[in-house]
Amino acid sequence: MKRLLIATALILAACSGSDGKPEAEPLEPTKYIAFLGDDGNISTYDPATGVITTVTDDATPGSRYSQPTWSPDGSQLAFVASSAPVSGIQASVSPVRVALQAQAQTTGSIRIVAAAGGETTTIPTPFVPYYMYWSPDGTQLAFLGLDASTGRQSFGLLDLATGSADRIDTGQPYFFAWSPASDRLLIHAANRELYYLAPDGTKQALEATPGSFSAPGWIGDTQLFPVQEGRRQILRLFDQDGNPRRDATDFGRAIALGLNPDEERAAYINIGAGANTFGLGPLVVNSPAGVTEVAELAAAFFWSADGERLLYLTPDTTGEHFGLRWNVWDGSETIEFERYLPTTTFVQQYLPFFGQYANSLSLLSPDGSSFTFAGTIEGRGQGIWVQDIRRDTPAELVGPGQFSTWAP
C-alpha cells in the first residue's frame, strides 16, 4: 500500500486567521476516511492513493482532539478540541442507558476544516462536546456534553452562519434525530419524553409514550421508534408528523433499531435480560414482505447509504481470547470477516451508543463497497483498517489509530 504523510496539509487557526503554515493540497470530498490517531491528533486517509493527510499535529496530554465527524456532503470535517483528555460517555449496565463520566475540562471548542484545505475555524462551546451530529443541510451542528456549570448533560447547537454555539436543551439520557429538512429534531430524553425540538428551543410533545430504546430514526418521510401501549412495547414506523404507519415488532426488555434508507425496512436487536455490550441479542430485519433473522447475536449494526447492505458486529469466542467480527449482509447472504479486538475508544465511546452514531457518521464507504474500523488483528497489527467487501482479501492496515469514519 502506498502511504505518504503530508505533514503540513491543513492549518489549525482561530476564527480570526492563519498561523502562517502553508495551506493543504486540495482534497476531493466524499472519498476520505477521517481518523483519530494514537497520539490524539486527527488525520484523513485517501484509500485510492494511500495518502495520509495531517489535520492536527499539536495534541498533548493536556490538549486533545476527538469525535471527527464529516458534514453530510463530505466537504467539511468537524472535531472537538478540549483542554484535557476526553474520556467520553461510558457504557452502563443497561445497553440503552447513558452513564455520564464526570469531565474536568473547563474549556472546549468545535473546530471545522474544509476537505479542500485552508484555515480551520474554531468556535468555543458552552460545554465540552463528546458527540456531534450535523444537520442534513450542513448549516447546523448539534452536540452533546456534560455541562460543568449544572452537572447535567446538555444539548447545544452551532449555527455555521453566525459562528455561535448555544445551549438549547438538557436531558439525561438524551438521544435525537434530525428532520430531513433540518428545521427540527426528534428528541428522546430521560427515557420518558418524546418531542420535536426547534433550533430556537421550542418544544412540541408527541402523544406517544416511548418504549425502552435509545436513538430514534428519521429518514425521508419516515420515523422509527418504539411506543408503549399498556403492557406492550411496539417498534413502529411513523410518518414525518408522528402518525402511525405500520408496526414492525413487539419486544420485551429493550430494543436497538435502525431504519433502512428505503424507508421500508427496519433492522433491530431485541435486547434480552442477559445482554451485554458485546452481545445484545438477535439481529432481525423487518419489511412489509416479512421478517429475516440476520444473526443470532449481534453487538451493533449500520446500514449502507444505498440501503443494500447491513454491516454488523458479532462476538467471537472461538479463539483463546475474546474477539469480535464484522459481517456484511446483502439481503440474502452474509460475508464474515477477520476476527479482531476493538480499541478502547470504540468500546467506551461508540459501541454502547451505536444507534445514535448511526445517525451521524458512517463506517461504510459511500458506495457501500468497503468499511473501516479500528483495532487489533492478531498477527497482523493494530490501528486503522479498511476492508474491501467485494474482494476476498484481508483488511488493509492504514496506520496507528483509535477510531475511523468514512466521509459520506
For the chain, domain boundaries? 4-406
CATH number of 4-406: 2.130.10.120
Q: How far is it, in rounded angstroms, from Cα 380 to Cα 35?
A: 19
What pLDDT is stored for residue 218 in this prediction?
98
What pLDDT is stored for residue 84 in this prediction?
62
- What is the four-CA torsion angle of 156, 160, 162, 165, rounded to 10 degrees? 20
What pLDDT is stored for residue 106 in this prediction?
62
DSSP state of 194: E
Q: What is the pTM of this model?
A: 0.88
* Averaged pLDDT, groups of 10, the chain, 408 residues long: 32 34 42 95 94 94 94 96 60 36 63 87 96 98 92 96 96 97 98 97 96 98 97 97 96 97 98 94 97 98 98 90 95 96 97 98 96 97 96 92 97
Q: How far is it, in rounded angstroms, from Cα 171 to Cα 149?
A: 15
What pLDDT is stored for residue 132 in this prediction?
98
CB neighbour list of residue 202: distance below 8 Å, 6 or more residues apart: none
Rounded to 5°, angle at Cα 326 from 322 and 331: 140
Sheet containing 281-287: give its strands across: 254-259, 266-271, 281-287, 290-298
What pLDDT is stored for residue 391 in this prediction?
77
DSSP state of 183: S
Q: How far is it, in rounded angstroms, from Cα 38 to Cα 117?
A: 23
Contact 218, 177 (CB under 8 A): yes
Residue position matching grid coordinates 427540527: 184
